[in-house]
Structure 1
Amino acid sequence: MATALINGREISFTDTQDGEVAIVLSHGLFMDQSMFDAQVQALRGSYRVITWDQRGHGQAAFINEPFSLWDSADDLSALLAYLHINQAVLLGMSQGGYVSLRAALRYPEKVQALILIATQAGVEDETQRLAYTHLLNAWFENSLTDEIAQSVSGLILGPDKALAAPWVEKWRTIENSTLGFNFHALAERDDLVPALSELHVPALVIWGTEDGAIGIDQAKQLSAGLAGSQFLAVPGAAHSVSITHSAVVNSSIKAFLSDALR
Protein backbone atom coordinates (compact mmCIF):
# COMPACT_ATOMS: atom_id res chain seq x y z
CA MET A 1 0.00 0.00 0.00
CA ALA A 2 1.28 3.45 -0.93
CA THR A 3 0.24 7.00 -0.06
CA ALA A 4 -0.04 10.17 -2.12
CA LEU A 5 -0.75 13.77 -1.18
CA ILE A 6 -4.02 14.44 -2.99
CA ASN A 7 -5.81 17.77 -2.69
CA GLY A 8 -4.06 18.55 0.58
CA ARG A 9 -4.57 15.20 2.30
CA GLU A 10 -2.85 11.83 2.27
CA ILE A 11 -4.67 9.14 0.33
CA SER A 12 -3.77 5.44 0.61
CA PHE A 13 -3.89 3.38 -2.55
CA THR A 14 -2.67 0.19 -4.20
CA ASP A 15 -1.57 -0.11 -7.81
CA THR A 16 -0.73 -3.39 -9.52
CA GLN A 17 1.10 -1.32 -12.19
CA ASP A 18 0.65 -4.01 -14.85
CA GLY A 19 -1.72 -3.86 -17.82
CA GLU A 20 -2.39 -1.25 -20.47
CA VAL A 21 -5.93 -0.46 -19.30
CA ALA A 22 -6.30 1.00 -15.80
CA ILE A 23 -9.29 0.26 -13.56
CA VAL A 24 -9.91 2.34 -10.44
CA LEU A 25 -12.07 0.69 -7.78
CA SER A 26 -13.96 2.95 -5.35
CA HIS A 27 -15.46 1.43 -2.19
CA GLY A 28 -18.75 1.93 -0.36
CA LEU A 29 -19.68 3.83 2.80
CA PHE A 30 -17.93 2.53 5.96
CA MET A 31 -15.82 0.21 3.82
CA ASP A 32 -12.27 0.60 2.49
CA GLN A 33 -10.19 -0.49 -0.46
CA SER A 34 -9.71 -4.00 0.96
CA MET A 35 -13.31 -4.82 0.08
CA PHE A 36 -12.07 -5.33 -3.49
CA ASP A 37 -9.40 -7.94 -2.74
CA ALA A 38 -11.25 -10.54 -4.82
CA GLN A 39 -11.57 -8.18 -7.77
CA VAL A 40 -7.88 -7.22 -7.61
CA GLN A 41 -6.85 -10.86 -7.71
CA ALA A 42 -9.21 -11.62 -10.59
CA LEU A 43 -8.28 -8.63 -12.75
CA ARG A 44 -4.57 -8.11 -12.13
CA GLY A 45 -2.37 -9.37 -14.90
CA SER A 46 -4.91 -8.38 -17.52
CA TYR A 47 -5.48 -4.85 -16.24
CA ARG A 48 -3.75 -2.23 -14.13
CA VAL A 49 -5.90 -2.31 -10.98
CA ILE A 50 -5.96 0.59 -8.54
CA THR A 51 -7.81 0.73 -5.23
CA TRP A 52 -7.93 3.68 -2.84
CA ASP A 53 -9.39 4.90 0.45
CA GLN A 54 -11.79 7.79 0.05
CA ARG A 55 -11.95 10.71 2.47
CA GLY A 56 -13.08 9.58 5.91
CA HIS A 57 -12.40 5.90 5.25
CA GLY A 58 -9.67 3.32 5.73
CA GLN A 59 -6.22 4.76 6.16
CA ALA A 60 -7.69 8.22 5.47
CA ALA A 61 -10.38 7.77 8.14
CA PHE A 62 -9.81 10.93 10.16
CA ILE A 63 -11.49 14.00 8.71
CA ASN A 64 -12.30 17.25 10.48
CA GLU A 65 -14.37 19.22 7.99
CA PRO A 66 -17.44 18.74 5.79
CA PHE A 67 -16.96 17.53 2.24
CA SER A 68 -19.13 16.45 -0.68
CA LEU A 69 -19.03 13.50 -3.03
CA TRP A 70 -17.89 15.97 -5.70
CA ASP A 71 -14.80 16.56 -3.53
CA SER A 72 -14.18 12.81 -3.55
CA ALA A 73 -14.62 12.82 -7.33
CA ASP A 74 -11.95 15.51 -7.51
CA ASP A 75 -9.72 13.27 -5.37
CA LEU A 76 -10.24 10.41 -7.81
CA SER A 77 -9.28 12.60 -10.75
CA ALA A 78 -6.22 13.90 -8.88
CA LEU A 79 -5.15 10.35 -8.07
CA LEU A 80 -5.26 9.50 -11.78
CA ALA A 81 -3.09 12.54 -12.50
CA TYR A 82 -0.67 11.55 -9.74
CA LEU A 83 -0.33 8.10 -11.32
CA HIS A 84 0.05 9.62 -14.82
CA ILE A 85 -3.07 7.82 -16.05
CA ASN A 86 -4.87 9.69 -18.82
CA GLN A 87 -7.91 7.41 -19.00
CA ALA A 88 -9.33 4.65 -16.82
CA VAL A 89 -12.30 2.41 -16.26
CA LEU A 90 -14.11 3.57 -13.11
CA LEU A 91 -15.63 0.85 -10.95
CA GLY A 92 -17.63 1.92 -7.91
CA MET A 93 -19.67 0.10 -5.29
CA SER A 94 -22.54 2.01 -3.63
CA GLN A 95 -20.94 5.29 -2.45
CA GLY A 96 -18.05 4.49 -4.77
CA GLY A 97 -20.57 4.48 -7.61
CA TYR A 98 -21.82 7.91 -6.59
CA VAL A 99 -18.21 9.14 -6.67
CA SER A 100 -17.47 7.43 -10.00
CA LEU A 101 -20.53 8.97 -11.65
CA ARG A 102 -19.50 12.43 -10.48
CA ALA A 103 -15.95 11.91 -11.70
CA ALA A 104 -17.30 10.78 -15.09
CA LEU A 105 -19.51 13.87 -15.37
CA ARG A 106 -16.83 16.34 -14.29
CA TYR A 107 -13.90 14.67 -16.07
CA PRO A 108 -15.44 12.79 -19.03
CA GLU A 109 -12.16 12.79 -20.96
CA LYS A 110 -10.63 10.57 -18.27
CA VAL A 111 -13.22 7.79 -18.38
CA GLN A 112 -13.19 4.77 -20.70
CA ALA A 113 -16.06 2.85 -19.14
CA LEU A 114 -18.16 2.62 -15.99
CA ILE A 115 -18.89 -0.40 -13.78
CA LEU A 116 -21.50 0.53 -11.17
CA ILE A 117 -22.26 -1.97 -8.41
CA ALA A 118 -25.13 -1.69 -5.90
CA THR A 119 -25.55 2.01 -6.59
CA GLN A 120 -27.91 4.58 -8.07
CA ALA A 121 -27.95 8.09 -9.55
CA GLY A 122 -30.74 9.68 -7.51
CA VAL A 123 -31.04 11.12 -4.02
CA GLU A 124 -31.85 9.12 -0.92
CA ASP A 125 -35.48 8.16 -0.43
CA GLU A 126 -36.77 10.27 2.48
CA THR A 127 -38.01 7.28 4.47
CA GLN A 128 -34.68 5.52 3.97
CA ARG A 129 -32.74 8.66 4.89
CA LEU A 130 -34.68 9.07 8.14
CA ALA A 131 -34.05 5.43 9.02
CA TYR A 132 -30.32 5.86 8.39
CA THR A 133 -30.31 9.06 10.47
CA HIS A 134 -31.97 7.27 13.37
CA LEU A 135 -29.42 4.47 13.17
CA LEU A 136 -26.52 6.92 13.02
CA ASN A 137 -27.84 8.90 16.00
CA ALA A 138 -28.05 5.71 18.01
CA TRP A 139 -24.44 4.98 17.03
CA PHE A 140 -23.43 8.47 18.21
CA GLU A 141 -25.22 8.13 21.52
CA ASN A 142 -24.38 4.55 22.44
CA SER A 143 -21.20 3.82 20.45
CA LEU A 144 -21.37 0.80 18.17
CA THR A 145 -23.37 -1.69 20.23
CA ASP A 146 -23.76 -5.26 19.00
CA GLU A 147 -27.34 -4.49 18.03
CA ILE A 148 -26.39 -1.45 15.96
CA ALA A 149 -23.45 -3.30 14.42
CA GLN A 150 -25.77 -6.11 13.37
CA SER A 151 -28.14 -3.61 11.73
CA VAL A 152 -25.34 -1.89 9.83
CA SER A 153 -23.58 -5.08 8.79
CA GLY A 154 -26.86 -6.71 7.79
CA LEU A 155 -27.64 -3.81 5.49
CA ILE A 156 -24.17 -3.81 3.92
CA LEU A 157 -23.03 -7.43 4.04
CA GLY A 158 -26.12 -9.52 4.66
CA PRO A 159 -26.62 -12.07 7.47
CA ASP A 160 -23.13 -13.63 7.56
CA LYS A 161 -21.78 -12.64 11.00
CA ALA A 162 -18.35 -14.16 10.36
CA LEU A 163 -17.99 -12.05 7.22
CA ALA A 164 -19.09 -8.95 9.13
CA ALA A 165 -16.86 -9.41 12.19
CA PRO A 166 -13.62 -7.81 10.89
CA TRP A 167 -15.56 -4.89 9.41
CA VAL A 168 -17.38 -4.30 12.71
CA GLU A 169 -14.03 -4.05 14.48
CA LYS A 170 -12.93 -1.41 11.98
CA TRP A 171 -16.18 0.53 12.46
CA ARG A 172 -15.64 0.65 16.23
CA THR A 173 -12.56 2.84 15.67
CA ILE A 174 -14.35 5.55 13.63
CA GLU A 175 -14.73 8.86 15.45
CA ASN A 176 -18.18 10.42 15.68
CA SER A 177 -17.13 13.54 13.79
CA THR A 178 -15.89 11.42 10.89
CA LEU A 179 -19.10 9.37 10.94
CA GLY A 180 -21.11 12.55 10.69
CA PHE A 181 -19.13 14.04 7.82
CA ASN A 182 -19.25 10.76 5.88
CA PHE A 183 -22.99 10.38 6.37
CA HIS A 184 -23.72 13.99 5.47
CA ALA A 185 -21.76 13.72 2.20
CA LEU A 186 -23.76 10.65 1.21
CA ALA A 187 -27.21 11.64 2.48
CA GLU A 188 -27.13 15.18 1.09
CA ARG A 189 -25.89 14.28 -2.38
CA ASP A 190 -27.49 15.87 -5.43
CA ASP A 191 -29.65 14.16 -8.04
CA LEU A 192 -27.69 12.96 -11.08
CA VAL A 193 -30.55 11.26 -12.93
CA PRO A 194 -31.08 14.20 -15.33
CA ALA A 195 -27.35 14.25 -16.14
CA LEU A 196 -26.97 10.57 -17.02
CA SER A 197 -27.65 11.27 -20.69
CA GLU A 198 -24.40 13.28 -20.77
CA LEU A 199 -22.37 10.11 -20.27
CA HIS A 200 -21.41 8.33 -23.47
CA VAL A 201 -19.16 5.46 -22.35
CA PRO A 202 -19.85 1.74 -22.06
CA ALA A 203 -21.45 0.91 -18.71
CA LEU A 204 -22.27 -2.16 -16.65
CA VAL A 205 -24.75 -1.96 -13.75
CA ILE A 206 -24.69 -4.82 -11.22
CA TRP A 207 -27.34 -5.24 -8.52
CA GLY A 208 -28.17 -7.95 -5.98
CA THR A 209 -31.77 -9.08 -5.71
CA GLU A 210 -31.62 -8.95 -1.88
CA ASP A 211 -30.09 -5.47 -1.70
CA GLY A 212 -31.76 -3.62 1.17
CA ALA A 213 -30.13 -0.28 0.39
CA ILE A 214 -30.71 0.02 -3.37
CA GLY A 215 -34.04 -1.05 -4.82
CA ILE A 216 -34.68 -2.57 -8.22
CA ASP A 217 -36.35 0.63 -9.46
CA GLN A 218 -33.26 2.69 -8.53
CA ALA A 219 -30.88 0.21 -10.15
CA LYS A 220 -33.00 0.03 -13.30
CA GLN A 221 -33.30 3.82 -13.44
CA LEU A 222 -29.51 4.07 -13.41
CA SER A 223 -29.12 1.49 -16.15
CA ALA A 224 -31.87 3.03 -18.29
CA GLY A 225 -30.28 6.46 -18.03
CA LEU A 226 -26.94 5.23 -19.39
CA ALA A 227 -27.38 4.67 -23.10
CA GLY A 228 -26.59 1.13 -24.12
CA SER A 229 -25.64 -0.03 -20.64
CA GLN A 230 -25.70 -3.66 -19.58
CA PHE A 231 -27.64 -4.72 -16.48
CA LEU A 232 -26.93 -7.75 -14.30
CA ALA A 233 -29.14 -8.86 -11.40
CA VAL A 234 -27.39 -11.33 -9.09
CA PRO A 235 -29.91 -13.66 -7.41
CA GLY A 236 -29.73 -13.80 -3.62
CA ALA A 237 -27.05 -11.12 -3.30
CA ALA A 238 -27.26 -8.36 -0.71
CA HIS A 239 -25.69 -4.90 -0.95
CA SER A 240 -22.01 -5.94 -1.01
CA VAL A 241 -22.52 -8.27 -3.95
CA SER A 242 -18.89 -7.83 -5.04
CA ILE A 243 -17.82 -9.50 -1.77
CA THR A 244 -20.51 -12.10 -1.24
CA HIS A 245 -20.83 -13.14 -4.90
CA SER A 246 -17.38 -12.27 -6.17
CA ALA A 247 -17.15 -15.13 -8.68
CA VAL A 248 -20.20 -14.08 -10.72
CA VAL A 249 -19.32 -10.39 -10.38
CA ASN A 250 -15.74 -10.93 -11.51
CA SER A 251 -16.81 -13.06 -14.44
CA SER A 252 -19.29 -10.40 -15.53
CA ILE A 253 -16.70 -7.63 -15.21
CA LYS A 254 -14.22 -9.56 -17.35
CA ALA A 255 -16.81 -10.28 -20.04
CA PHE A 256 -17.98 -6.66 -20.08
CA LEU A 257 -14.45 -5.25 -20.35
CA SER A 258 -13.48 -7.71 -23.06
CA ASP A 259 -16.41 -6.51 -25.15
CA ALA A 260 -16.40 -2.80 -24.22
CA LEU A 261 -12.70 -2.13 -24.72
CA ARG A 262 -11.99 -4.10 -27.88
Structure 2
Amino acid sequence: MEKNFKLFYTEEGRGTPLVLLHGNGEDSSYFSAQMEYLKNDYRVIAVDTRGHGRSPRGTAPFTLRQFAEDLKELLDQMELRRILLLGFSDGANIAMLFALSHPEYVEKLILDGGNTRPSGVKLRYQIPIVLGWCAALAAARFDQKAVKKKELLGLMVKEPHIRPEDFAGFSVPTLVMAGTKDMIRDSHTRKLQRSIPGSRLCVMDGTHFIAAERPEEFNRHVHEFLEEGS
Protein backbone atom coordinates (compact mmCIF):
# COMPACT_ATOMS: atom_id res chain seq x y z
CA MET A 1 0.00 0.00 0.00
CA GLU A 2 1.37 3.41 -1.01
CA LYS A 3 1.60 5.97 1.75
CA ASN A 4 -0.83 8.88 1.30
CA PHE A 5 -2.07 7.60 -2.07
CA LYS A 6 -5.77 8.16 -2.66
CA LEU A 7 -7.87 8.17 -5.80
CA PHE A 8 -10.02 11.18 -6.59
CA TYR A 9 -13.72 10.56 -7.11
CA THR A 10 -17.00 12.42 -7.28
CA GLU A 11 -20.29 11.07 -6.02
CA GLU A 12 -23.94 11.97 -6.22
CA GLY A 13 -27.18 10.38 -5.14
CA ARG A 14 -28.10 7.79 -2.54
CA GLY A 15 -28.74 4.07 -2.54
CA THR A 16 -26.76 1.12 -3.82
CA PRO A 17 -23.23 2.22 -4.81
CA LEU A 18 -22.67 2.34 -8.58
CA VAL A 19 -19.01 2.81 -9.47
CA LEU A 20 -18.04 4.23 -12.88
CA LEU A 21 -14.60 3.70 -14.45
CA HIS A 22 -13.60 5.88 -17.43
CA GLY A 23 -11.35 5.02 -20.38
CA ASN A 24 -7.70 5.62 -21.24
CA GLY A 25 -6.57 9.24 -21.04
CA GLU A 26 -9.95 10.43 -19.75
CA ASP A 27 -11.40 11.20 -16.34
CA SER A 28 -14.63 10.80 -14.42
CA SER A 29 -16.29 13.71 -16.27
CA TYR A 30 -16.85 11.35 -19.22
CA PHE A 31 -19.83 10.01 -17.27
CA SER A 32 -21.52 13.36 -16.56
CA ALA A 33 -24.72 12.34 -18.36
CA GLN A 34 -24.78 8.99 -16.57
CA MET A 35 -24.29 10.59 -13.16
CA GLU A 36 -27.09 13.08 -13.78
CA TYR A 37 -29.51 10.32 -14.78
CA LEU A 38 -28.55 7.50 -12.40
CA LYS A 39 -28.13 9.60 -9.24
CA ASN A 40 -31.91 9.46 -8.81
CA ASP A 41 -31.72 5.76 -7.97
CA TYR A 42 -28.12 5.03 -6.96
CA ARG A 43 -25.15 6.39 -5.09
CA VAL A 44 -23.08 7.06 -8.19
CA ILE A 45 -19.31 7.18 -7.66
CA ALA A 46 -17.19 8.23 -10.65
CA VAL A 47 -13.50 7.52 -10.13
CA ASP A 48 -10.39 9.06 -11.71
CA THR A 49 -8.00 6.13 -12.14
CA ARG A 50 -4.32 6.38 -11.20
CA GLY A 51 -2.53 9.08 -13.22
CA HIS A 52 -5.79 10.31 -14.77
CA GLY A 53 -7.79 13.45 -14.03
CA ARG A 54 -7.23 14.53 -10.43
CA SER A 55 -5.82 11.24 -9.17
CA PRO A 56 -2.07 11.12 -8.54
CA ARG A 57 0.30 8.94 -10.54
CA GLY A 58 1.89 7.55 -7.40
CA THR A 59 4.85 5.18 -7.45
CA ALA A 60 3.19 1.81 -8.04
CA PRO A 61 3.28 0.12 -11.48
CA PHE A 62 1.12 1.79 -14.15
CA THR A 63 -0.89 -1.30 -15.11
CA LEU A 64 -4.52 -2.27 -15.37
CA ARG A 65 -4.07 -4.84 -12.59
CA GLN A 66 -2.68 -2.13 -10.33
CA PHE A 67 -5.68 0.05 -11.19
CA ALA A 68 -7.97 -2.83 -10.17
CA GLU A 69 -6.17 -3.08 -6.83
CA ASP A 70 -6.40 0.71 -6.45
CA LEU A 71 -10.16 0.32 -6.77
CA LYS A 72 -10.26 -2.33 -4.06
CA GLU A 73 -8.26 -0.07 -1.75
CA LEU A 74 -10.66 2.82 -2.43
CA LEU A 75 -13.70 0.64 -1.72
CA ASP A 76 -12.12 -0.57 1.50
CA GLN A 77 -11.40 3.02 2.52
CA MET A 78 -15.05 3.87 1.83
CA GLU A 79 -16.20 0.68 3.60
CA LEU A 80 -18.09 -0.51 0.53
CA ARG A 81 -18.38 -4.26 0.05
CA ARG A 82 -21.13 -4.74 -2.55
CA ILE A 83 -21.21 -2.46 -5.58
CA LEU A 84 -22.59 -2.17 -9.07
CA LEU A 85 -19.68 -1.65 -11.46
CA LEU A 86 -19.69 -0.02 -14.90
CA GLY A 87 -16.48 0.36 -16.89
CA PHE A 88 -15.85 1.94 -20.28
CA SER A 89 -12.96 0.95 -22.58
CA ASP A 90 -9.88 0.56 -20.35
CA GLY A 91 -12.29 1.09 -17.47
CA ALA A 92 -14.17 -2.00 -18.64
CA ASN A 93 -10.88 -3.89 -18.69
CA ILE A 94 -10.12 -2.74 -15.15
CA ALA A 95 -13.65 -3.75 -14.14
CA MET A 96 -13.11 -7.24 -15.58
CA LEU A 97 -9.84 -7.67 -13.73
CA PHE A 98 -11.39 -6.40 -10.52
CA ALA A 99 -14.47 -8.61 -10.77
CA LEU A 100 -12.37 -11.68 -11.55
CA SER A 101 -10.07 -11.04 -8.57
CA HIS A 102 -12.73 -9.81 -6.14
CA PRO A 103 -16.14 -11.12 -7.28
CA GLU A 104 -17.50 -10.83 -3.75
CA TYR A 105 -17.48 -7.03 -4.13
CA VAL A 106 -19.53 -6.94 -7.34
CA GLU A 107 -23.30 -7.34 -7.46
CA LYS A 108 -23.65 -6.54 -11.18
CA LEU A 109 -21.13 -5.75 -13.90
CA ILE A 110 -21.45 -3.63 -17.06
CA LEU A 111 -18.63 -3.72 -19.63
CA ASP A 112 -18.83 -1.01 -22.29
CA GLY A 113 -16.30 -1.28 -25.14
CA GLY A 114 -13.94 -3.60 -23.30
CA ASN A 115 -11.37 -5.98 -24.77
CA THR A 116 -9.57 -8.97 -23.30
CA ARG A 117 -6.35 -8.56 -25.31
CA PRO A 118 -4.74 -5.83 -27.47
CA SER A 119 -5.63 -7.64 -30.70
CA GLY A 120 -9.29 -7.05 -29.90
CA VAL A 121 -8.82 -3.49 -31.16
CA LYS A 122 -9.33 -3.00 -34.90
CA LEU A 123 -6.05 -2.53 -36.76
CA ARG A 124 -6.92 0.92 -38.10
CA TYR A 125 -7.06 2.11 -34.50
CA GLN A 126 -4.34 -0.05 -33.00
CA ILE A 127 -1.62 0.80 -35.54
CA PRO A 128 -1.63 4.55 -34.72
CA ILE A 129 -1.65 3.67 -31.01
CA VAL A 130 1.44 1.48 -31.43
CA LEU A 131 3.21 4.11 -33.54
CA GLY A 132 2.41 6.81 -31.00
CA TRP A 133 3.70 4.60 -28.20
CA CYS A 134 6.96 3.96 -30.07
CA ALA A 135 7.45 7.69 -30.65
CA ALA A 136 6.70 8.46 -26.99
CA LEU A 137 9.08 5.71 -25.92
CA ALA A 138 11.90 7.37 -27.84
CA ALA A 139 11.03 10.88 -26.68
CA ALA A 140 10.57 9.90 -23.02
CA ARG A 141 14.31 10.03 -22.46
CA PHE A 142 14.31 13.84 -22.73
CA ASP A 143 10.65 14.93 -22.59
CA GLN A 144 8.65 14.52 -19.37
CA LYS A 145 5.33 14.91 -21.20
CA ALA A 146 6.27 11.96 -23.38
CA VAL A 147 6.69 9.82 -20.25
CA LYS A 148 2.99 10.17 -19.43
CA LYS A 149 1.99 9.54 -23.05
CA LYS A 150 4.21 6.45 -23.13
CA GLU A 151 2.52 5.07 -20.03
CA LEU A 152 -1.01 5.79 -21.26
CA LEU A 153 -0.50 4.33 -24.73
CA GLY A 154 1.45 1.44 -23.24
CA LEU A 155 -1.70 0.30 -21.47
CA MET A 156 -3.39 -0.23 -24.84
CA VAL A 157 -0.32 -1.70 -26.55
CA LYS A 158 0.60 -4.23 -23.87
CA GLU A 159 -2.66 -4.93 -22.04
CA PRO A 160 -4.97 -6.55 -21.11
CA HIS A 161 -4.45 -10.32 -21.23
CA ILE A 162 -7.62 -11.99 -20.02
CA ARG A 163 -8.38 -15.53 -21.19
CA PRO A 164 -11.90 -16.80 -21.92
CA GLU A 165 -11.31 -19.61 -19.44
CA ASP A 166 -10.69 -17.04 -16.70
CA PHE A 167 -14.46 -16.59 -16.60
CA ALA A 168 -15.15 -20.27 -15.87
CA GLY A 169 -17.38 -20.32 -12.83
CA PHE A 170 -17.88 -16.54 -12.92
CA SER A 171 -21.37 -15.83 -11.57
CA VAL A 172 -21.67 -12.03 -11.48
CA PRO A 173 -24.61 -10.89 -13.70
CA THR A 174 -22.97 -9.08 -16.61
CA LEU A 175 -24.05 -6.82 -19.48
CA VAL A 176 -21.58 -6.43 -22.37
CA MET A 177 -22.10 -3.27 -24.43
CA ALA A 178 -20.55 -1.89 -27.62
CA GLY A 179 -21.24 0.35 -30.59
CA THR A 180 -21.95 -0.85 -34.12
CA LYS A 181 -18.90 1.15 -35.26
CA ASP A 182 -16.81 0.43 -32.19
CA MET A 183 -13.01 0.41 -32.25
CA ILE A 184 -13.27 -3.05 -30.68
CA ARG A 185 -13.82 -5.85 -33.17
CA ASP A 186 -17.43 -7.05 -33.17
CA SER A 187 -16.24 -10.68 -33.17
CA HIS A 188 -14.11 -9.92 -30.11
CA THR A 189 -17.01 -8.32 -28.24
CA ARG A 190 -19.25 -11.28 -29.00
CA LYS A 191 -16.60 -13.77 -27.93
CA LEU A 192 -16.20 -11.88 -24.66
CA GLN A 193 -19.93 -12.04 -24.05
CA ARG A 194 -20.04 -15.77 -24.80
CA SER A 195 -17.15 -16.33 -22.39
CA ILE A 196 -19.05 -14.86 -19.43
CA PRO A 197 -21.66 -17.33 -18.15
CA GLY A 198 -25.20 -15.97 -18.26
CA SER A 199 -24.17 -12.58 -19.64
CA ARG A 200 -26.09 -10.63 -22.26
CA LEU A 201 -25.07 -8.42 -25.16
CA CYS A 202 -26.29 -4.93 -26.05
CA VAL A 203 -24.99 -3.40 -29.30
CA MET A 204 -26.06 0.19 -29.90
CA ASP A 205 -25.81 2.24 -33.07
CA GLY A 206 -22.69 4.37 -32.68
CA THR A 207 -18.94 4.36 -32.16
CA HIS A 208 -16.81 3.41 -29.18
CA PHE A 209 -18.26 6.38 -27.30
CA ILE A 210 -21.95 5.41 -27.17
CA ALA A 211 -22.36 6.61 -23.57
CA ALA A 212 -21.51 10.16 -24.67
CA GLU A 213 -23.08 10.00 -28.13
CA ARG A 214 -26.44 8.53 -27.15
CA PRO A 215 -26.72 9.02 -23.40
CA GLU A 216 -30.50 8.63 -23.15
CA GLU A 217 -30.52 5.22 -24.86
CA PHE A 218 -27.34 4.11 -23.08
CA ASN A 219 -28.70 5.14 -19.69
CA ARG A 220 -31.98 3.34 -20.34
CA HIS A 221 -30.21 0.05 -21.14
CA VAL A 222 -27.99 0.41 -18.07
CA HIS A 223 -30.90 1.25 -15.79
CA GLU A 224 -33.04 -1.64 -17.04
CA PHE A 225 -30.21 -4.09 -16.45
CA LEU A 226 -29.47 -2.78 -12.97
CA GLU A 227 -33.13 -2.88 -11.95
CA GLU A 228 -33.72 -6.48 -13.07
CA GLY A 229 -34.44 -8.72 -10.14
CA SER A 230 -34.45 -5.87 -7.63
Instruction: Specify whether residues 39 and 67 from structure 1 end up closer, same or farther in structure 2 by C-alpha distance, changes over 3 A only.
Output: same
What are the Cα deviations for residues 32-78 of structure 1, in whole angstroms up to 9, with x where unaligned? 10000000011102111101111121112645664211100001111
Q: In 1, are the aligned partners of 2:178 and 2:210 still within 8 Å (CA)?
A: yes
Alignment of structure 1 residues 135-214 onto 2, 5 Å: 135-138=132-135, 175-189=145-159, 190-211=161-182, 213-214=183-184
Cross-structure match for 1:114: 109
Q: Does 1:217 find its partner at 2:187?
A: yes
Q: How far apart are the structure 2 equivalents of 1:28 and 1:250? A: 17
Is 1:56 matched with 2:35? Answer: no
CA gap 1:37/1:246 in 2 versus in 1, 3 angstroms? same
Conservation of the 8 A alpha-carbon contact between 1:64 and 1:177? no
Counterpart for residue 203 of structure 2 = 233
RMSD across aligned C-alpha pairs, in angstroms? 2.5
Aligned residue among 88, 91, 96 for 1:96: 91
Whole-angstrom distance in 1 between the partners of 2:192 and 2:3: 29
Residue 45 in structure 1 maps to residue 16 in structure 2: no
**2:211 maps to 1:258:** no
- Separation of aligned partners in 1, 2:69 and 2:209: 25
| TM-score, scaled to structure 2 | 0.87
Distance 1:92 1:118, change over 3 A: same
Q: Structure 1 CA distance, aligned partners of 2:219 and 2:106?
A: 20
Q: Call closer, same or farther: CA 1:118–1:188 in 2, change over 3 Å.
A: same
Residue 178 and residue 7 in structure 1: after superposition, are their counterparts in 2 closer, same or farther (change >3 A)? farther
Q: Which amino acid aligns with 1:22?
A: P
Q: Report the TM-score when normalising by structure 1.
A: 0.77
**C-alpha displacement of 1:200:** 0.6
Aligned to 1:150: none
Q: Deviations over 1:102-151 (max 9, x none)?
A: 10011111010110101122343598444311134456789xxxxxxxxx
Question: In 2, Cα distance between the equivalents of 1:126 and 1:216?
Answer: 10
Once residues 46 and 121 of structure 2 are traced to their aligned partners in structure 1, the CA distance between those partners, rounded to angstroms, is 31
Change (3 A) 1:25 1:126: closer
Distance of 1:192 and 1:202 partners within structure 2: 18
Distance 1:215 1:31 in 2: 21
Runs (5+) with no aligned partner, structure 1: 143-173
The Cα of 1:181 is off from its aligned counterpart by: 1.6
Provide structure 2 residue ranges, at least 5 long, that are not aligned to the other structure. Answer: none
SS in structure 1 of the partner of residue 98 of structure 2: helix
Q: Contact 1:113/1:203 (CA < 8 Å) preserved in 2? A: yes
- Superposed CA offset, 1:198-242 (max 9, x none): 32111111110011x20101111111111111211111x111111
> 1:91–1:100: 8 Å Cα contact kept in structure 2?
yes
Q: CA 1:94–1:138 in structure 2 vs 1: closer, same or farther (change >3 Å)?
A: same
For residue 131 of structure 1, the aligned residue among 128, 131, 137 is 128
Cα deviation, residue 101, structure 1? 0.5
- For 1:11, the equivalent position in structure 2 comes to 7
